[in-house]
Structure 1
């Protein structure tokens, strides 16, 4: 049963043929129904993977229900694994091909890995010679076995396409003779696989390109179809130039006829000249006139006419030529609808990241914890308590003040307790409660304000030495003026110790 999954290319071939007759460009009788009775199958390359198969029925509806008989895709040429057919999308194409007996599966197969890596000519020549010696036979044998296993042993294989150009690593120009020997090895290796019924399509670019494509032709025994890729670009500015130029469309037809081979157009479409409906009409007329085995338009921008909306006039010309007569039920906007919902799915996912945004303020919680280090600041006033704790008065007790003995009778200074700075009595009371607070572990800090202590006044040649005791203003008020006297009477006279 048919499963439209991955490639519009195959179905497009049948549709194009019918359209050619509908345009009237063909030489068919006016009474003939457009597209009926033509042996040409048509399709359009829309995608290499499952999407290409899935789009085939939409293209058919756009053409008024015209049947599309050709499915066209490409094997990746970045590695040998891809060339061996170890890609899952081949299964989708195989199911599409098996759904109807008159369908055709067209598969472009690279002849070298790193096929679009811009490998230099000298290295390409080495790879060609290695292939001619059979070094890559095993890869193509595995591909043939895979296609037979999938149930598509009649695949049309477009091997080493556009070999006369400069784009691909499998190009012919660096060594044409060994390239032809390499082609022979690939074809014979694949034909040796039991159950195969492959058709090998030799498809150059239109025109001379890097080398005349006839110089690369490997021989009638290893070629089943002679194709040509023809886009709206040089060489040649008009479609008539494309026909008459060396190695152009006319020489393609004549060469195939001389070798008894059918022709094909695996790739064609717009390219260098923008929206060009005249090119589309002339190409469809040429196809209808020369009855190729199949043709597939390359339908993506800038080449296409269905998926690419930048070529509206060419799109109308293609549709007028190939669509079944009668109103088209399904409008073109239906085509993108399967693609549109896919991007819509991620949009609801976008708001989900908004949820973590409220989590952002949570890091602001540690910021109020910064002021907590202010707790140790209260211990700062404790140094004030240590001021009275230092009974430094005994320190000045050394006889350092003896030089003042030479001063004449200093009796008047006795009333010098006038350092009545005791007047600020509130200060000692305010500091009183702070006394018990200082922890013993805190080291005493130096007193920034050492107040001058009253110098002891001693009577000249006296035998009693008195020192006033200073315990601070508040303690002096409590205990009164106190002093310590030492009687030096025993040191005088006869002792000989008293100096005065």
Structure 2
């Protein structure tokens, strides 16, 4: 989903979402996907509430609204408009750093664009040129600067969701125009960020669920440069039912199987209600899926017209 959409939806976990996130979707004990506690005590749960400092401020209110659910995953995005912002210029990173350092069991998740003008409708031919330049190392310095800034802020263990939804049609950092260059470019970025002293970053490869502009498996850059295999999945087509979302090509089951085959943890950086409204059945099914498959973290991001909360 675009960052413009995320601003609109800054906070509509419907009545169904509220009850199910707080209770785990059933009278039984809450599933692992909504538990809190320290490392090893459950999946880290979060919600996207705003890309900047208001996102931090709203987490306490959302936790209270959900009956005390422990939001251990803080999730935000770097703007992809300019290289300066991709290098970590936004002041809100200071606020996120303070939140992260308040507790040792918290997880900071940061979506990082791979190219500037990331939502500018850049044509495929130009995207292919930019990916080739990235594969040749033209932009490595921007990511070294980002890594240095994160380390300096005490965010050296950030989960980096790099080039998210790369299998789609929209972002400039999309994979389809040149998958081989895209993969080499990802490898350069990871190598550049890992070269910074003190870093302990984990890199999350997170496509859209299902068939899209290109099969996301064609974009996978290699086990040595991926730590987590994520997936963004909303209650929308492709897949009219949750069962179809699980079984479709490049769907939820293939995601789990692919990660297992590659020895990786899974994540759901974005999931929630979108085109099908207040769908309690979807919420129950997705929370049960999370409980069964125990991702490292998940972050609900609702797209009803009036937003989460």
For normalisation by structure 2, the TM-score amounts to 0.89
Change (3 A) 1:102 1:250: same
Distance 2:25 2:280 in 1: 17
Task: Give the deviation of 1:16 after TM superposition.
Answer: 8.5
Query: Which of the two has higher C-alpha Rg?
Result: 1
Q: Does 1:248 align with 2:251?
A: yes
Count of aligned pairs between the two proteins: 289
Distance 2:193 2:31 in 1: 40
The structure 2 residue matched to 1:20, chosen from 12, 24, 27, is 24
Distance 1:276 1:43 in 2: 20
Q: Does 1:46 align with 2:49?
A: yes
Residue pair 1:160, 1:170 contacting (<8 A) in 2 also: yes
Per-residue CA deviations over 1:260-300 (Å, capped at 9, x if unaligned) read 00000000011111221111111111111100000000145
Per-residue CA deviations over 1:140-173 (Å, capped at 9, x if unaligned) read 0000000000001000000000000011000000
Say which SS state the counterpart of residue 276 (structure 2) adopts: coil
Task: Give the deviation of 1:20 after TM superposition.
Answer: 3.2
> Superposition pairs for residues 423-442 of structure 1, below 5 Å?
none
Residue pair 1:132, 1:185 contacting (<8 A) in 2 also: yes
> Superposition pairs for residues 408-447 of structure 1, below 5 Å?
none
Task: Give the deviation of 1:52 after TM superposition.
Answer: 0.5
Match of 2:15 in 1: none
Q: Does 1:278 align with 2:285?
A: no
Match of 1:162 in 2: 165
Query: Which is bigger in relative contact order (C-alpha 8 A, separation at least 6)?
Result: 2
Structure 1's consecutive aligned runs of 4 or more residues displaced over 6 angstroms after TM superposition are: 15-18, 25-28
Distance 1:299 1:248 in 2: 19
Match of 2:6 in 1: none
The structure 2 residue matched to 1:229, chosen from 222, 228, 232, is 232
Task: Give the deviation of 1:243 after TM superposition.
Answer: 0.3
Match of 1:129 in 2: 132
Identify unmatched segments of 5+ residues in structure 1: 1-7, 10-14, 29-33, 308-500
Match of 2:7 in 1: none
Per-residue CA deviations over 1:340-372 (Å, capped at 9, x if unaligned) read xxxxxxxxxxxxxxxxxxxxxxxxxxxxxxxxx
Residue pair 1:83, 1:110 contacting (<8 A) in 2 also: yes
Match of 1:199 in 2: 202
Q: Does 1:290 align with 2:293?
A: yes
Match of 1:175 in 2: 178
Change (3 A) 1:248 1:205: same
Match of 1:189 in 2: 192
For normalisation by structure 1, the TM-score amounts to 0.55
Identify unmatched segments of 5+ residues in structure 2: 1-9, 12-18
Match of 2:16 in 1: none
Task: Give the deviation of 1:19 after TM superposition.
Answer: 4.2
Q: Does 1:87 align with 2:84?
A: no
Residue pair 2:35, 2:45 contacting (<8 A) in 1 also: no
